[in-house]
Amino acid sequence: MKLKCVYLFFFACALYFGFSSFTETNPYFIITAKDIEFTNPLGFPQPVYDFKNNPVTPEGFTLGRKLFYDPILSKDSSVSCAFCHQRIAAFAHIDHPLSHGINSLIGNRNVPAIQNLIWQQNFMWDGGINHLEVQPLAPLTNNKEMDETLAHVLDKLQHNKSYVADFSAAFKDTVITSGKLLKALAQFTSMMISCNSKYDRYVKGEQEFNPQELNGLQLFRSHCINCHKEPLFTDNTFRNIGLKPDTALADSGRMRITGMAGDYMKFKVPGLRNVEMTHPYMHDGRFKTLQQVLAHYANGKFFTNYDRSIEKNTGLTAQEQADIIAFLKTLTDQQFLHDRRFADPNFR
Ligand code: HEC
Ligand code: HEC
């Protein structure tokens, strides 16, 4: 009799999960208009991204999230965006110096965090892409990442009943186009905003820093702010910080895009929010820890035609380096890292 009850219970569960969509019924995953309201965080500049051309709606955001977590976007359905961009790492990839994609192929660069994209003019380490909605075309078609064609992805989606329903809910049309695919993804990624770290609360006067963090902040403001400008911790420029060129990767950085010799080894200044979670570091993931990053700035062994402003970091003492790291850790934003809106909707 007891056993029968257990069977019945599992049967009921199977019915429930089989016939109703998990994400549509679970409050954890439901996105309401309130969830996607945008107000510019205090002290942040005006966004570069223009929401007017792609207003975020609950349906569009939910579709973007589904696409982001769906390996259907890759040639053999093995690699999703989230495969490389892990939520717990602010959507960077913990532990891989270089990205891993389809057929376990290793890419040429470290997976960057995805956060505060709407304030960026340029994407990728070399700034090779300058519009958020165009960006997904790069991983989609890269033969070491998802190795797909846009036409084939659209064909797969158009033959998928669930996606046809999702696209028509989001865009009031059953025809799935590349424009709608890219807009849906941008509705999701544009909302990935990190603005509630301990640093933000300190700036607003809501939380105190301990003496070490305070000293770290002061050192940071005198040594690093030239490039890692508050509140986004990047000035959106490309700089050469004197890293030894990796001859195997032969990555010339910004020069790949501009063709100008002066741009050799220049890379986009990364925003440092959540940097505690986004290891390894630099465009090629060469440093595993923040200690190694600080040691690079402090040891003064700089290569090629580097930006002279890093010279003043030479000789930072071990204590000063530790204080700067204590400050960098105040940029960790638990609310962002655990934000239910960005969770994997397939996770049960
Ligand atoms: C195989 C791993 C991989 C996959 C899959 C992948 N990415 Fe990336 N992503 C990367 C790497 C590596 C970079 C940096 C590339 C470069 O600088 O050349 C990047 C860069 C980005 C950036 C730019 C961030 C910035 O600050 O410049 C965004 C946005 C992004 N990816 C979103 C996506 C989306 C959306 C998808 C799915 C359509 C996706 N990625 C799939 C590895 C991946
Ligand atoms: C001249 C501009 C400049 C200055 C000054 C500067 N940085 Fe950077 N920083 C960069 C650039 C550019 C990169 C990326 C380089 C690359 O990947 O090749 C970077 C990378 C980093 C990273 C790795 C982030 C990641 O996501 O991989 C950290 C951490 C960092 N810097 C911290 C600091 C600290 C702390 C200071 C001050 C002691 C500082 N930086 C000073 C330009 C600068």
Q: For each of the chain's 348 residues, which pLDDT tens digit applies?
A: 455 555 555 545 444 454 457 777 888 999 999 999 999 999 999 999 999 999 999 999 999 999 999 999 999 999 999 999 999 999 999 989 999 999 999 999 999 999 999 999 999 999 999 999 999 999 999 999 999 999 999 999 999 999 999 999 999 999 999 999 999 999 999 999 999 999 999 999 999 999 999 999 999 999 999 999 999 999 999 999 999 999 999 999 999 999 999 999 999 999 999 999 999 999 999 999 999 999 999 999 999 899 999 999 999 999 999 999 999 999 999 999 999 999 999 875
Residues 189 and 202 in one domain: no
- Determine the Cα–Cα distance for residues 6 and 61; give it in Å rounded to an integer: 38
Note whether 44 and 79 are same-domain residues.
Answer: yes
Clarify whether residues 41 and 121 are in a common domain: yes
Same domain, 140 and 183: yes
Cβ of 135 closer than 6 Å to ligand 1, yes or no, is yes
Atom of ligand 1 nearest to the CA of 126: 17
Indicate whether this model's pTM tops 0.85: yes
Residues 171 and 234 in one domain: no
The span from the CA of 317 to the CA of 226, in Å, is 20
Provide the token pair at 73: 């976007």
What's residue 24's pLDDT? Answer: 78
Whether residue 214 sits in one domain with residue 86: no
Neighbouring C-alpha atoms within 13 Å toward the C-beta of 220: 24
How many A from CA of 115 to the centre of ligand 1?
Answer: 12
Tell me, yes or no, whether 7 lies in a domain: no
Task: Answer whether 192 contacts ligand 1 (Cβ < 6 A).
Answer: no
Pocket test for ligand 1, best of 84, 93, 132, 268 (most atoms within 8 A of CB): 84
Ligand 2 centroid to Cα of residue 294, in Å, is 9
Residue for token pair 């192929």: 105
C-alpha angle 140-276-49 in degrees, rounded to nearest 5: 45
Q: Which atom of ligand 1 is nearest to the CA of 117?
A: 26
pLDDT of residue 15: 45
Cα 150 to Cα 158: distance, rounded to the nearest angstrom: 12
- What pLDDT was estimated at residue 1? 46
Domain presence at residue 134: yes
- Interval between CA 40 and ligand 1 midpoint (Å): 24
